[in-house]
Structure 1
């Protein structure tokens, strides 16, 4: 190989290595600070989410904004170390959440929950006022013992929320796409 071809090969190899390293650094930054993936274990969010669904979560949304009612969030499990839960925000700071006769009431009005399976009523009775920087979360599966949520562990500090789930990227079927 001539010296010119050898230098050209070395330069091209160096450019490839720089490009690959840059791509890896960008991927690490995105995964660490912006987006994450979540793998659903269990049926606490059924019928919205099914076991083995794979989701994208936005990790920075709550740096600039507060969780909103209806958001599907990933949070550190308040009752188990090194575990995360995925739940739906039902109440935010200042709200009163009441569960009676199987239905959820928000600030005295029955909540219309089209994401809950028909005839899937919660059997607990409770009334909680959501405090400052807290949210009340429930799994969409309201059957007895189907979800560990605010009925079980109370309200959650928003600092424990790690992201907002917004897109199901697997499985590739009719449920693929944005979450509601």
Structure 2
């Protein structure tokens, strides 16, 4: 093999390395922009999510469509944007929500919430009657209703505070948690 051929081979080899490194960096950037991990700290989302679990949040989930009822979201706490919370969306902009004891209704439709912690049905907050969710706002609640600081206590979550949609639990895998979070949109199927 001559000197010219070796030089060509080295250039091809360097080009392949550069292309591979560039592709890996682009993939890492794309992952960083669209996904974020989140650590569950507390019991407010029991039995769906458990204390000390780690989840992935899809930050690009709402680029083409808005957040929907039933979605579990991670957001900046409205009273302290340095803190991130995780809750389930119960009502979206324009909805009327009522909560009397343990009964939740959206636009007059009573919700039959299969994801709520049946072991702690206590509602420590006063009744809410026909509260209208404002534009670009969301009413959120924890699945563990007796142990959740949520919209019942501090109000709506502005759209700009939403970081993304929780999609998968990646640590630890457990008997009642196989990774993907269940789709609970059926609970809201009869709401207008």
**2:45 paired residue number:** 45
1:102/1:123 contact within 8 Å kept: no
Runs of 4+ residues over 4 Å off in structure 1: 2-11
Q: Distance in 1 between matches of 2:180 and 2:124?
A: 30
2:78/2:158 contact within 8 Å kept: no
**2:21 paired residue number:** 20
SS where residue 153 of structure 2 aligns?
helix
Q: Distance in 1 between matches of 2:110 and 2:88?
A: 17
Deviation at 1:11, TM superposition (A): 5.7
Report matched runs for 1:44-83 at 5 Å.
44-83=44-83
Deviates more, 1:47-56 or 1:21-30: 21-30
Q: Distance in 2 between matches of 1:10 and 1:171?
A: 46
Normalised TM-score (structure 2): 0.80
Unaligned runs of 5+ in 1: none
Deviates more, 1:22-31 or 1:59-68: 22-31
Q: Deviations over 1:12-33 (max 9, x none)?
A: 466335423431232122211x
Q: Distance in 2 between matches of 1:178 and 1:136?
A: 23
**1:97 paired residue number:** 97
Alignment length (residue pairs): 176
SS where residue 25 of structure 1 aligns?
helix
**1:156 paired residue number:** 157
SS where residue 98 of structure 2 aligns?
strand
**1:179 paired residue number:** 181
SS where residue 178 of structure 1 aligns?
coil
Deviates more, 1:90-99 or 1:124-133: 124-133
Deviation at 1:81, TM superposition (A): 3.1
Q: Distance in 1 between matches of 2:151 and 2:16?
A: 53
Normalised TM-score (structure 1): 0.85
Across the aligned residues of Structure 1 and Structure 2, the Cα RMSD in angstroms comes to 2.2
